[in-house]
Structure 1
Amino acid sequence: MSGDEKSGFLMKVIGPRKRWRAYKARVKELPESYRTAVEAIERYLMHFVPTDEDSSASMFDDLADLFEQAAVNGTPIREIVGEDPVEFAGAFAQNYSEGGYVPARARKQLTDDIERAAGNETGKEDKTV
């Protein structure tokens, strides 16, 4: 392997890892309910929305951007994802996705996780997350 090939290979391995670590650090800084929502959406997208490395990195960066801005503005989670988090995730991923099938169990898990993150209808957040 020549120096250029080695360098290109390392950038493919290290670049995505660095970007992923930076994304995870950003998510960790979010308020708990926003972090819980992002992690639920992230889990859903990672397992059920096929993308290439660049699309995936961009998708997660954009997800962090969205929730960071919402946290700064005090936007409730339900205003971000709506009443159907599966629909939100599908629409969000549409610009990054190469297609795919999402099992019903995964859709229910995402819906349940967002429900916990958003709290109940009275506006109280569930602190047991």
Structure 2
Amino acid sequence: MPGWIEKIVGDLGDKKRYLAYRERVKRLPDGYRDAAKALERYLMNLGPTDDGKGLVTMLEDLADLLEQSAADGAPLRDVVGADPADFAETFMANYDGGSWVRKERARLAESIDRAEREQEAGS
């Protein structure tokens, strides 16, 4: 009978995984913890919003990366580089799932392709 509960509140497994991820972030050293929160905010807004499992997997992988980097004593900039948005975009590109940004980019490309075909047909 868990089907009706999940329809109302969402996948409980995903919620538990997300809460476990948040606990992992709390245990990161200060700079890494702040970076994780900032990257999470960016990924939550621009990442795979139509796939909860994909989003949680991406965040878990981010935690893996940051935990390992902190354990290795790597400077934060060595991990995220000079442009954190570029890092986040590259990181996100490894995961399926749509986001409003990806959908709008695809929609724009399709519209321009259609306009080009109409222009060529009218010539």
* Structure 1 residue 48, shift from structure 2 partner: 1.6
Answer whether contact 2:47 2:55 (CA < 8 A) is retained. no
Relative distance call for 1:11 and 1:47 in structure 2 (3 A) is closer
* Structure 1 residue 16, shift from structure 2 partner: 1.4
SS in 1 for 2:94: coil
* TM-score, scaled to structure 1: 0.68
Moved over 6 A (4+): none
1:39-58 Cα shifts (integer Å, max 9, x gaps):
00000010122341111010
Answer whether contact 2:26 2:33 (CA < 8 A) is retained. yes
Relative distance call for 1:8 and 1:100 in structure 2 (3 A) is closer
Whether 2:25 is the aligned partner of 1:27: answer yes
Structure with more contact order per residue of length (Cα contacts < 8 Å, sep ≥ 6): 1
Q: Which amino acid in the other structure matches residue 47 of structure 2?
A: V
Aligned residues: 100
1:36: which partner in 2? Answer: 34
Q: Which amino acid in the other structure matches residue 41 of structure 1?
A: L
SS in 1 for 2:101: coil
The alignment's C-alpha RMSD in Å is 2.3
Higher Rg of the two aligned structures: 2
Unpaired runs of at least 5, structure 2: 103-123
Relative distance call for 1:99 and 1:47 in structure 2 (3 A) is closer
SS in 2 for 1:95: coil
Whether 2:65 is the aligned partner of 1:66: answer yes
1:66-91 Cα shifts (integer Å, max 9, x gaps):
00001100011100011011110000
Unpaired runs of at least 5, structure 1: 103-129
Q: State the distance in 1 between where 2:2 and 2:29 align.
A: 42
SS in 1 for 2:48: coil
Higher helix content, 1 or 2: 2
Whether 2:93 is the aligned partner of 1:94: answer yes
* Structure 1 residue 10, shift from structure 2 partner: 8.2
Quick one: percent identity of the two aligned structures?
43
